[in-house]
Amino acid sequence: MNISDIKNKFGIIGHNTLLERAIEIAIQAAPTDLNVLINGESGTGKEVFPQIIHQYSSRKHGPYIAVNCGAIPEGTIDSELFGHEKGAFTGANEARKGYFEVANGGTIFLDEVGELPLSTQARLLRVLESGEFMKVGSSKVQKTDVRVVAATNIDFYQAIEREKFRVDLYYRLNTLPIYLPPLRERKEDIYLLFRKFANDCSAKYRMPVVKLNLDAEQVLANYYWPGNIRQLKNITEQICIIEKSREINAETLLKYLPQYSSNNVPVLLRNDGTSGGSSLGGDFKERDIFYKVIVDIRNELNDLKKVVHDIIIASNGSMSVLPKEDMQLFREANIHESISNGITIHKPVVQNSTLPQTIEVEETLSLQDKEKDMIKMALRKHKGKRKYAAKELGISERTLYRKINEYNIAE
């Protein structure tokens, strides 16, 4: 058994060192019964590695079940994983086996394990520690012999700090960690993947294969790829179907690449595809309007403070000459308060009844406010349909449901 054989069998493409190291760890982990935690961004191919571990383990003849924890509503996740008794809740017309009971003697893959609610995390911890669980609505303890492989794209340390994930469960799952690098860390593999997807598309739809010129290859390698392999495959198929020319240059390729900076903030495009212009795709128009509103508010606040400052200077530094309404406005504009994750305004220091010549305003953009507004825009765009809104935002439907409740968003 070697890495090349594994790649051929499971359709893994690439020669990146981090990728091959991940395959090595999966091969070494397979004969054991230790729990494995696969960490990597969305679209990096995490779902392949549990299959490698299962196929080369002593459990290969047992069941293999893959569960997307982020796709199951919070109210039914316990029933899905551990089963329920008849009458345990409304609609439970008959008893049902859960995945841990069905997968006895085999392997269960928990994708998006970071999305599990805390109550379910406690149940999962008990299974990992003792192999015991109870069905929903039952007091009878049952045993199961299951090997758990979990995957996530979240930062566990942040989740633990925010008390969204149990630290004891993290260390129980993370017995053998596997890290999958994002596509931007596998630059040498990007063109190989493009060529594979282009050949597959050509064979499937019986059309000539598309090729990239040297400039386009450079653009492909240097793009950020926030959606990783999944995004690359999607864009390759779009180009194969839409473009009439079979040789793609950089200008054509850029039309299919949403513009992201390294921190995932949209970059404005000129009509020629370079950054800095005002020609935007439809997906980014609302976001850029939102950012512009924030900047405009900041500028208006600076203008207001400057006007008040000039009035006071013209009055020899005396604030008593201001009308009552302007005095209140001045106090509000200069109040020293920090709004959580919002805009922080530093109050100028007044010495000897004179104001400083400069008034500093420090701006920080609220991530929570942005997230809330982006969720609202996605829901409006898709007329309240959570499934499509979640897909647009790049999160699971259950995560979207939780965010809606957390921010008290009216649909």
DSSP string, 284-331: HHHHHHHHHHHHHHHHHHHHHHHHHHHHHHHTTT-GGGS-HHHHHHHH
Q: To the nearest whole number, what is the mean pLDDT of the chain?
A: 81
Q: What is the mean pLDDT of residues 89-107?
A: 92
Q: Within 13 Å and on the Cβ side, how many CA atoms surround 172?
A: 19
Backbone dihedral angles phi then psi of residue 136, each to the nearest 5 degrees? -65, 130
Question: How many Å apart are CA 17 and CA 23, to the nearest integer?
Answer: 10
Predicted local confidence at residue 295, as pLDDT = 60
Q: How confident is the model at residue 98 (pLDDT cuts 50, 70, 90)?
A: very high
205-237 residue pLDDT tens? 999 999 999 999 999 999 999 999 999 999 999
What would the two tokens of residue 54 be? 């299962």
Domain with CATH 1.10.10 in the chain: 367-406
Exposed/middle/buried for residue 88 (C-beta within 10 Å: 0-12, 13-18, 19+): middle
Which is more confidently placed, 363 or 301? Answer: 301
Listed in order, the ranges of the chain carrying CATH 3.40.50.300 are 3-181
Q: Dmax of the chain from CA atoms?
A: 89
Percent of the chain residues past pLDDT 70, beyond the cut: 74
Q: Is the pTM of this model over 0.85?
A: no
Question: What stretches of 174-306 adopt beta strand conformation (E)?
Answer: 176-179, 211-212, 247-248
Q: Which residues pair with 151 in a beta bridge?
A: 38
Instruction: Say if residue 139's pLDDT is above 70.
Output: yes
Looking at residue 297, its pLDDT comes to 74
Q: Which CATH architecture has domain 367-406?
A: Orthogonal Bundle (1.10)
Query: Do 151 and 39 meet the contact criterion of CB atoms below 8 Å apart?
Result: yes
Residue 374 CA to residue 355 CA, distance in Å, equals 40
Q: What is the CATH number of domain 3-181?
A: 3.40.50.300
CA atoms 183, 188, 194, 196: torsion sign: negative
Q: How confident is the model over 27-54, as pLDDT tens digits? A: 999 999 999 999 999 999 999 999 999 9
CA angle centred on 283, ends 279 and 285, rounded to 5°: 50
CA-to-CA distance for 330 and 359, rounded, in angstroms?
Answer: 12
Q: Are 182 and 231 in contact (CB under 8 A)?
A: no
CATH class given for the domain over 184-257: mainly alpha
For residues 264-272, average pLDDT: 41
List, for residues 370-392, the tens digit of each pLDDT value: 788 888 888 888 888 888 888 88
- CATH 1.10.8.60 domain span(s) along the chain: 184-257
Residue 290's pLDDT is 58
Residue 279 has pLDDT above 70, yes or no: no
Give the pLDDT band of residue 268 (cuts 50, 70, 90): very low
Please give the pLDDT value at position 335: 46
Which of residues 87 and 292 earns the better pLDDT score?
87
The helix (run of H) or strand (run of E) holding residue 381 is helix 367-381
The helix or strand, by DSSP H or E, that contains position 388, with its residue range, turns out to be: helix 386-393
Could you tell me what percent of the chain has a pLDDT over 90? 59
- Bridge partners (DSSP) of residue 111 are 68
So what's the pLDDT on residue 93? 87
In whole angstroms, give the CA distance from residue 245 to residue 255: 14
pLDDT in tens, 318-357: 545 455 555 555 455 454 443 434 444 444 444 444 444 4
Q: What is the pLDDT of residues 236-265, one digit of tens each?
A: 999 999 999 999 999 999 999 987 544 444
Summarised one tens digit per residue, pLDDT across range 148-196 is 999 999 998 899 999 999 999 999 999 999 999 999 999 999 999 999 9
Question: So what's the pLDDT on residue 346?
Answer: 45
First CA to last CA across the chain, in angstroms? 54
Compute the average pLDDT of residues 110-119: 95
Which pLDDT score is estimated for 343? Answer: 42
Instruction: Look at strands 147-152 and 107-111 and give their pairing.
Output: parallel
Q: Say which DSSP state 175 is in.
A: T
CB neighbourhood size of 236 (10 A): 23
Using CB atoms within 10 Å of the CB of residue 70, give its burial: 0 to 12 exposed, 13 to 18 middle, 19+ buried. Answer: buried
CA dihedral 151, 155, 159, 162 (to 10 degrees): -170
